């Protein structure tokens, strides 16, 4: 016989997976709380009880995924030796994620768009990604090439390339993606690049 706590945990899982599907299908704003509850064979009251509202569902969903994804990536990274291999691991886990399937990138985009105009969400997002990056670096072990500052930029390139790949799949090959990532890492770990030859100016 299932205890109350077990049932509650299952309700939470059902609500989260239902929300993940619906958010990806119709977008966050296009998904009603009632729709989430209905797909989970629950009612809206359960959603409010568990997450307090739609924003709570979104945050919980992404936090869960980022955590799991960080673990997976960290594990794979420990077996990679070269920089390119490590970056390929990152790219593979974004373009063909084991965790969360195709959906989580769509959700990420929604959240970033949301964060671009909401200071609270922005702060949450920054903390979350910095933490994830830190965890990845630690799990990867002795990687002198992955200085902490590259983290955000690497993530930015990963998201941007995946975004493009979703719209125009043929345009972003794996080789291309890895080459771009190598470029990013090289850009920060080799500040000796001559600004005059790059044409870039400090902001």
Near DNA in 8-67, by CB under 7 A: 8, 10-12, 32-35, 37, 41-46, 48-50, 53-54
Of 45 and 195, the one with the shorter C-beta distance to DNA is 45
Of 101 and 160, the one with the shorter C-beta distance to a copy of itself is 160
Interface with DNA (CB under 7 A), residue total 26
Of 26 and 134, the one with the shorter C-beta distance to DNA is 26
Q: How far apart are the first and last CA of the chain?
A: 63
CA distance 184 to 12: 39
Of 42 and 130, the one with the shorter C-beta distance to DNA is 42
- Please name which of 148, 147, 164, 157 lies closest in space to residue 184, comparing C-alpha atoms: 157
Minimum distance between the CB of residue 172 and a copy of itself, rounded to whole angstroms?
A: 5
CB of 44 closer than 8 Å to CB of 34:
yes
Minimum distance between the CB of residue 9 and DNA, rounded to whole angstroms?
A: 8
Which DSSP string do the residues of 33-99 spell out, in sequence order? Answer: HHHHHHHTTS-HHHHHHHHSSHHHHHHHHHHHHHHHHHHHHHHHHTT--SHHHHHHHHHHHHHS-SS
* Among DNA, a copy of itself, none, partner that 139 touches (CB below 5 to 8 angstroms by kind): none
* Among a copy of itself, DNA, none, partner that 141 touches (CB below 5 to 8 angstroms by kind): none
Minimum distance between the CB of residue 50 and a copy of itself, rounded to whole angstroms?
A: 24
CA distance 16 to 103: 12
* 85 lines the binding site for DNA (CB under 7 A): no
CA distance 134 to 128: 10
Structure tokens at 158: 């990963």
Of 118 and 189, the one with the shorter C-beta distance to DNA is 118
By CB under 7 A, name the binding residues for DNA.
Answer: 1-5, 7-8, 10-12, 32-35, 37, 41-46, 48-50, 53-54
């Amino acid at each position: 016989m299932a205890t109350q706590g077990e049932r509650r945990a299952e309700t939470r899982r059902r609500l989260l997976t239902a929300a993940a599907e619906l958010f990806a299908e119709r977008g966050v704003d296009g998904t009603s709380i009632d729709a989430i509850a209905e797909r989970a064979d629950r009612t809206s009251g359960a959603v409010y009880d568990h997450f307090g509202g739609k924003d709570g569902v979104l945050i919980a969903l992404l936090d869960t995924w980022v955590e799991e994804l960080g673990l997976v990536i960290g594990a794979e990274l420990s077996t990679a030796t070269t920089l390119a291999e490590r970056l390929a691991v990152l790219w593979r886990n974004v373009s063909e994620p084991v965790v969360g399937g195709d959906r989580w990138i769509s959700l990420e985009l929604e959240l970033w768009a949301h964060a671009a105009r909401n200071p609270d969400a922005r702060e949450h997002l920054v903390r979350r990604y910095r933490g994830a990056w830190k965890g990845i670096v630690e799990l990867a072990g002795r990687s002198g090439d992955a200085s902490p500052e590259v983290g955000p930029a690497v993530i930015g390139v990963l998201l941007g390339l995946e975004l493009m790949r979703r719209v125009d799949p043929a345009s972003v090959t794996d080789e291309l993606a890895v080459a771009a990532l190598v470029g990013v890492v090289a850009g920060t770990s080799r500040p000796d690049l001559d600004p005059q030859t790059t044409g870039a100016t400090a902001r």
